[in-house]
Amino acid sequence: MNLHAVKVIYKHEMLRSWNTLLQSFASPVISTILYFVVFGSAIGSRIEEVGGVSYGAFIVPGLIMLALLTQSISNASFGIFFPKFTGSIYELMSAPVSFIEILIGYVGAAATKSFIIGLIILATAGFFVTLEIAHPVWMLIFLVLTCVSFSLFGFIIGLWADDFEKLQLIPLLVITPLVFLGGSFYSVDMLPPAWQTVTLFNPVIYLISGFRWSFFNIADVSVWLSLAMVMVFLLACLTTVWWMFRSGYRLKQ
């Protein structure tokens, strides 16, 4: 493996974020804080506890997941779309660099940025509520798997999109609604039985449930099922990326 090529791609993507520090890190953190203040104050005044956990603390894992999913997709999709849009991707593909090295560089950088944002939001939430992480190792596992999985998904979107409108289509119209309807701000048990069944078809519920379990030992679905769903999604994204590079989908002129 050409580790030098991986390092160059990774470093280039990370430097792009540092050059736009306010947009890359401050903006999602401020947005999440606003969500926390609004939902925590408005709804938290009416719902004191959920599953024995204060409502303000209960929504923290959901807010972190909301930021992770959107930022992972955004960072990875723009990272690969821009060189494809400018045509510099063809120079990269003609170089002695395999698709695995390209993938590790771009996805690794996107996942790293999302991971940092997640940790910053977690630290910021500590100023508003008292947080105790019951399973810190599992919390980090879900955090890393989510960052990598959805960075891969964003990478796929960046390869698929042929204009800036399509680049934002899936995150805005699919991912964001799924996150809001995936138990970010409520427990599935609070829904009527029919809606509980419908919610189980939302893949995001498994991410948020497993991540919330690592904090409070409460979950809407089994933690092992949550982990299995994340792994299935990760493998599906890896397979899709491999096929796109192997077939040259949206990469060959």
User: Nearest Cα to 144, choosing from 152, 133, 155, 132?
Assistant: 152
What separation in angstroms does the CA of 78 have from each of 72, 73, 108, 164, 214?
Answer: 10, 8, 14, 9, 31
Counting every residue, how long is the chain? Answer: 253
**pLDDT at residue number 148:** 94
CA atoms within 13 A on the CB side of 8: 9
User: Nearest Cα to 64, choosing from 207, 190, 203?
Assistant: 207
d(CA 209, CA 5): 37
**pLDDT at residue number 213:** 93
At residue 113, what are phi and psi to the nearest 5 degrees? Answer: -65, -40
Split the chain (253 residues) into runs of 10 and give each run's mean pLDDT.
80 78 71 74 67 82 88 88 80 78 89 90 82 90 94 92 82 84 82 84 90 91 92 93 82 62
**pLDDT at residue number 185:** 80
**pLDDT at residue number 232:** 94
DSSP string, 47-99: --EETTEEHHHHTHHHHHHHHHHHHHHHHHHHHHHHHHHHTHHHHHHHSS--H
154, containing H or E segment: helix 136-160
3-state secondary structure of 162: coil
Task: Provide the Cα torsion 151, 138, 43, 205; round to 10°.
Answer: 60
Q: List b or e across 82-117, with b for residues whose CB sees 16 or more CB atoms inside 10 angstroms.
A: ebbbeeebeebbeeebeeebbbbbbbbbbbbbbbbb
User: Nearest Cα to 221, choosing from 229, 69, 65, 175?
Assistant: 229
